[in-house]
Amino acid sequence: MAINKQPKKPLFNLIHSKLAITLFFIVVFTIPALLLLHTPSASLCTTLSSNNPWSGDLRDTVFPWNRLKFVDHEPPPITLKIAVFSRKWPTSSTPGGMERHAHTLHMALARRGHQVHIFTSPIDDDIASIKQRMQIQKSPNLSPIVHWHEGEPDKWRYNKAWEQFEEENKLKSFDVIHSESVALPHWLARQVPNLVVSWHGIALESVQSSIYQDLTRKPDEPISPAFNQSLQGVIPKVLNEIRFFKNYAHHVAISDSCGEMLRDVYQIPTKRVHVIVNGVNEEDFTQDLSLGHEFRSRIGVPRNASLVLGVAGRLVKDKGHPLLYEAFSKLKLKHPNVYLIVAGSGPWQSRYKELGSQVIVLGSMNPIELHGFYNAIDIFVNPTLRPQGLDLTLMEAMMSGKPVMASRFPSIKGTIVVDDEFGFMFSPNVESLIESLESVVAEGSKRLSQRGKACQKYAASMFTAQKMAMAYERLFLCIKNQTFCMYP
């Protein structure tokens, strides 16, 4: 008897059927989460008005702790012994964003008198590193004390760091333990009741990043195999995060939208989710008009420049540089007196240089140099394709008295550009970015300067290292003693 065999599906169809299933789950899973997100500024105006100040248990808050005023005791009411697990600790002049956050926060806490111990990956034994280690050995009571575990430079081994932690903990128990992201894995975190983990990006946000990055493809450009692989693996990753995040006792979200995702999708109880926005050193980023004029002159911006745009950070695809490159290449043809200053390094550095004299590429810059950069521009542009976390560059620009242009992502519109006066938002595509750029050119530098004043005022109330450090200190005190959980 003949057997009717079904023909096998071609591999191409099989792959795309899997992709379709993955995309279906993404839509079903992600869209409801995004619908929950909102810009909280309107409700907060009522909650935190001078006539109706907020009070209660800090663990019940859903808005950023940065909005509250904590009494700046000198010294603090209790001196804490704090353990910090960070994959890296800055040793160069241009560290990454998470390293900068960890360094800014814990240096501020150390200056307030807390005993801070950093457990991090080893570094190269160059002259600078040797000097740093010798300084710590000579001054064992110096805070923060950095513990580099043994092994290959820049390779994080949590088990080695945990061994160092346990030895130090025997001498005197730590009051609180702080993990930067998953530096301390969840199976160890499960047994630590006084642990705080800060999330600078979660898997659910990375789903959006993958989609936005793929949307930059040209119509005739094939889909990247890496994109297929990332989508097929992202749902299990999100589900895995939802299952293990509960093992961390306390969660710090660095944006309002991340806080909502942790509460509503990751199902973390409200009392264990705390929104504390990252801050930048207020001494490093201030408004200085004379410095801006000097910087422009030094790098060759002509005096007849009608408008100067600025972008800073890693010059890579996921930071949105394909969008800005294409948008500005069209804008400059219509507006020959508009200039773009690019601060940073990466694959798109050489591409920007191709755009001619209206684009000035400076390479990587340290905070001192960035101070001049921010003061030299009229508006800061951040075309990022990464919704996760919050770029410190936006806060640095606002602290320097500059308005911003940024991708319309929940994290940015809910925490940074909470008022139309602070700047412009655009959908992460070339057409929308060009439209916003044309609006900026039409407004001109004088109007942008007015916007910058509003930005600086808001940033000073929210994004300083002092505000961030005081919020973290209060959270750590609350974990140590519940009396400190009550506000005011």
Instruction: With H, G, I as helix, E, B as strand and everything else as coil, classify residue 148.
Output: strand
What distance in Å separates the CA atoms of residue 148 and residue 122, rounded to the nearest whole number?
Answer: 5
pLDDT by 10s per residue, the chain, length 488: 443 444 444 444 444 445 544 543 444 344 444 434 444 443 443 345 556 689 999 999 999 999 999 987 778 999 999 999 999 998 876 677 788 899 999 999 999 999 999 999 998 866 445 545 545 444 455 789 999 999 999 999 999 999 999 999 999 999 999 999 999 999 999 999 999 999 999 988 887 777 888 888 888 888 877 777 777 778 889 999 999 999 999 999 999 999 999 999 999 999 999 999 999 999 999 999 999 999 999 999 999 999 999 999 999 999 999 999 999 999 999 999 999 999 999 999 999 999 999 999 999 998 899 999 999 999 999 999 998 889 999 999 999 999 999 999 999 999 999 999 999 999 999 999 999 999 999 999 999 999 999 999 999 999 999 999 999 999 999 999 999 999 99
Distance CA 472, CA 454 (A): 26
- Superfamily in which the 289-462 domain is placed by CATH: Glycogen Phosphorylase B; (3.40.50.2000)
Domain ranges of the chain: 47-279+466-487, 289-462
Alpha-carbon gap, residue 373 to 299, rounded angstroms: 10
Element spanning 399, H or E: helix 392-399
99 near 91, Cβ under 8 Å?
A: no
For residue 311 the two structure tokens come to 């972008």
Distance CA 372, CA 164 (A): 41
**Computed from CA positions of residues 425, 266, 461, 281, in that sequence, does the dihedral angle turn out positive or negative?**
negative
Which H or E element spans position 453?
helix 430-462
Helix (H, G, I), strand (E, B) or coil at 56: strand
- Residue pair 348/321 in contact by the 8 Å Cβ criterion: yes
Determine how many CB atoms are found less than 10 A away from the CB of residue 90: 17
Residue 7: the pLDDT is 44
CB distance 388 to 202 below 8 Å: yes
pLDDT of residue 222: 85
pTM across the whole model: 0.88
Q: Are 66 and 279 in contact (CB under 8 A)?
A: yes
Spatial separation of the C-alpha atoms in residues 41 and 47, rounded to whole Å? 10
| Helix (H) or strand (E) run with residue 235 in it | helix 225-244
pLDDT given for residue 446 in this prediction: 98
Tell the CATH topology of 47-279+466-487: Rossmann fold (3.40.50)
Phi, psi of 126, deg, nearest 5: -80, 180
pLDDT at position 217 is 83
Give the model's pLDDT for residue 191: 92
- Same CATH fold assignment for domains 47-279+466-487 and 289-462: yes
Task: State residue 129's pLDDT score.
Answer: 55
State the Cα–Cα distance between residues 210 and 65, nearest whole angstrom. 30
Pairing of strands 486-487, 81-85: unpaired
What secondary structure letter does DSSP report for 280? Answer: B
380 with 404: CB under 8 angstroms? yes
**Rounded Cα distance, 215 and 217, in Å:** 5
Cα of first residue to Cα of last residue in the chain, in angstroms, is 85
